[in-house]
Chains A and B, each alone.
Chain A
Amino acid sequence: DAGVIQSPRHEVTEMGQEVTLRCKPISGHDYLFWYRQTMMRGLELLIYFNNNVPIDDSGMPEDRFSAKMPNASFSTLKIQPSEPRDSAVYFCASSTGKGSGRNSPLHFGNGTRLTVT
């Protein structure tokens, strides 16, 4: 089991550029979550998917942020245009709810550290 795989590990970009973060969840997991971690606000849920369908995107800060999950093994989080205040560590996590939304342990990726200059 390779775990949740995120790429890239680090991303440095200039303000105004488009940034795409990628995530491969654990095979068989039907929930996928995108979180953002900053010193000021800690961990925050941005959006989560169940069976590739976005369920709750109320944490997405602005229209500049978008997330997709075209299939069960891949998701992207895109920021366009990026701003310095988007600098943070972005985590992807997956879990299995067996289709019922029941609680189950989360498995986190190693995160992508984004710096926008």
Chain B
Amino acid sequence: KNEVEQSPQNLTAQEGEFITINCSYSVGISALHWLQQHPGGGIVSLFMLSSGKKKHGRLIATINIQEKHSSLHITASHPRDSAVYICAASEYGNKLVFGAGTILRVKS
């Protein structure tokens, strides 16, 4: 069993839809990261959180430490949101354990 599991593996949405990607982890963590990888291959850090909720534009990340679960939400999705979204758990410092990623495609 992977230490960090994401669902769904693949997600197709229509433009404008509300999107949720889930991440469950089995390790004790000091922080949870959400990363975005575009088709060109570059990786961008979207959020790093250890409690509660963070918001940046149309993106919202939440974490429930007791349940060892985090979610990434995208409101009013757009084709440019199409990317791979990766959840990563930091057991200590910045040593990350990665989920397998969720491939998101938003159709116009």
User: In this assembly, does B76 line the interface, its C-beta being within 8 Å of a C-beta of chain A?
Assistant: no
User: In this assembly, does A44 line the interface, its C-beta being within 8 Å of a C-beta of chain B?
Assistant: yes
Q: Would B94 and A103 count as touching, CB distance under 8 A?
A: yes
Q: Would B43 and A108 count as touching, CB distance under 8 A?
A: yes
Which residues on A sit within 8 Å (CB–CB) of B90?
A: 103
User: In this assembly, does B33 line the interface, its C-beta being within 8 Å of a C-beta of chain A?
Assistant: yes
Q: Using an 8 Å CB-CB cutoff, how does the interface string of B30-48 with A read, 1 for contact, 0 for none?
A: 1101010000011111001
Which residues of B13-57 have CB atoms within 8 Å of chain A's CB atoms? 30-31, 33, 35, 41-45, 48, 50
| List of 10 A-B pairs having minimum Cβ-Cβ separation, nearest first | A103-B31, A101-B93, A108-B43, A43-B98, A105-B45, A105-B48, A106-B45, A42-B100, A110-B42, A103-B90
In the complex, what's the smallest C-beta–C-beta distance from A77 to chain B, in angstroms?
17
Q: Would B41 and A89 count as touching, CB distance under 8 A?
A: yes
How many chain B residues touch A (Cβ–Cβ < 8 Å)? 23
Nearest chain B residue, comparing its CB with the CB of A110: B42
User: In this assembly, does A104 line the interface, its C-beta being within 8 Å of a C-beta of chain B?
Assistant: yes
Q: List 13 additional A-B contacts (Cβ < 8 Å) besides A42-B101, A43-B88, A45-B95.
A: A33-B94, A42-B100, A44-B98, A48-B95, A93-B43, A103-B30, A103-B31, A103-B48, A103-B90, A104-B94, A106-B33, A106-B35, A106-B45
User: In this assembly, does A91 line the interface, its C-beta being within 8 Å of a C-beta of chain B?
Assistant: yes
Alpha-carbon gap, A11 to B99, bound state (A): 27
Which residues on A sit within 8 Å (CB–CB) of B98?
A: 42-44
| Main secondary structure on A side of the interface with B | strand
Which residues of B79-97 have CB atoms within 8 Å of chain A's CB atoms? 86, 88, 90, 92-96
Other-chain residue from B41, B42, B45, B93 in contact with A102 (beta carbon distance below 8 A): B93
Nearest chain A residue, comparing its CB with the CB of B44: A108
Alpha-carbon gap, A104 to B45, bound state (A): 10
User: In this assembly, does A95 line the interface, its C-beta being within 8 Å of a C-beta of chain B?
Assistant: yes
